[in-house]
Amino acid sequence: MRRAVAFVVLMALAWAAWDTGADPVRLIRGLPWLLEFVRRMMPPDLRVLPAAVAGAVTTVEIALLGTAVAAVLALPLGFVSARNVAAPPIFHAARAALNFLRSVDTLVYALVFVAAVGLGPFPGVLAVIAYTTTSLAKLYSEAIEGIERGPVDAITATGATRLQVLRFGVLPQVLPLFLSYVLYRLETNIRAATVLGFVGAGGIGFYLQTYLRLIDYPAASTVLLVTVAMVIAVDFVSSRLRQRLV
């Protein structure tokens, strides 16, 4: 049985390698071109630094605003998709809807929203909201399912309403986890938002794509360096905050 599974997995991988044209020799032949690419990027063209920084600020704004709105929108969704809080029919419907919506990535949402509201950072914000709401709702619901039953029983026994039980029995248990998930999502959204500009949804990705198209590699390298600095800075601040929560 085990051998049969191993055989099937190996065959699938071999087929995938053949089908994608994966070829180490091609990679080795391409290496000099890679180095040439890096060489042409040097030295970075610092004249585009103000534009790159402005793009980075827009990207951070997209991620911040999108994550913040999603963090709130995901709250009711998280509760209705938690098995131990929602009634079974509601729970199953909510879970199914979340799984369906979550299968679409931020970039795909961005394409849709650019078509709907036009170019610029706003469709980027909408895309971040759409994806992050569903993914946070899933994380929230799992946190809710992991709570201690005891305090919930105790609050229920005081004659509290369902809403009060959620507020006093459930929320204090899950809030630190929720905040930690939101910060984690902010970190991943910064990365996701850097490529949103590729499809016209604003931010630093727009500059990267533009300079690459213009074959202005020194300018593109400045944009890349700013991107790296931005991601590292946000990760640093966010992980510090998360450590203090747990």
| 156 forms part of the interface with another protein (CB under 8 A) | yes
Q: Supply the minimum distance, in Å, between the C-beta of residue 167 and another protein.
A: 5
Q: Which amino acid is it at 45?
A: D
Do 66 and 132 meet the contact criterion of CB atoms below 8 Å apart? yes
Q: What is the DSSP letter of 170?
A: I
Of the pair 14, 175, the CB lying nearest another protein is at 175
Contacts of residue 177, Cβ cutoff 8 Å, sequence gap at least 6: 143
- 51-70: contacts with another protein (CB under 8 A): none
| 179 forms part of the interface with another protein (CB under 8 A) | no
CA separation for the pair 184, 237 (Å, rounded): 11
Do 194 and 231 meet the contact criterion of CB atoms below 8 Å apart? yes
CA separation for the pair 150, 168 (Å, rounded): 12
Of the pair 213, 244, the CB lying nearest another protein is at 244
CA separation for the pair 123, 105 (Å, rounded): 14
Residue among 84, 99, 164, 239 that touches another protein (CB under 8 A): 164
User: Binding mask 66-105 vs another protein (x if CB under 8 A, - otherwise)?
Assistant: ----------------------------------------
| 1 forms part of the interface with another protein (CB under 8 A) | no
CA separation for the pair 151, 155 (Å, rounded): 6
Of the pair 120, 176, the CB lying nearest another protein is at 176
| 150 forms part of the interface with another protein (CB under 8 A) | yes
Residue among 40, 167, 237, 240 that touches another protein (CB under 8 A): 167
Which region among 21-29, 46-54, 75-83, 159-167 touches another protein (by CB under 8 A)? Answer: 159-167
Q: Supply the minimum distance, in Å, between the C-beta of residue 157 and another protein.
A: 4
Residue among 61, 142, 151, 235 that touches another protein (CB under 8 A): 151
Do 59 and 204 meet the contact criterion of CB atoms below 8 Å apart? yes
* Burial status of residue 209 (CB atoms within 10 A of its CB: 0-12, 13-18, 19 or more): middle
DSSP string, 21-69: T--HHHHHHHHHHHHHHHHHHPSP-GGGHHHHHHHHHHHHHHHHHHHHH
Of the pair 101, 155, the CB lying nearest another protein is at 155
Do 32 and 177 meet the contact criterion of CB atoms below 8 Å apart? no
And the tokens for 175? Answer: 């809030």
Which region among 96-104, 132-140, 169-177, 194-202 touches another protein (by CB under 8 A)? Answer: 169-177
Q: Supply the minimum distance, in Å, between the C-beta of residue 155 and another protein.
A: 6
Of the pair 43, 159, the CB lying nearest another protein is at 159
- Rule CB under 8 A: which residues touch another protein? 150-151, 153-161, 163-164, 167-169, 172-173, 175-176
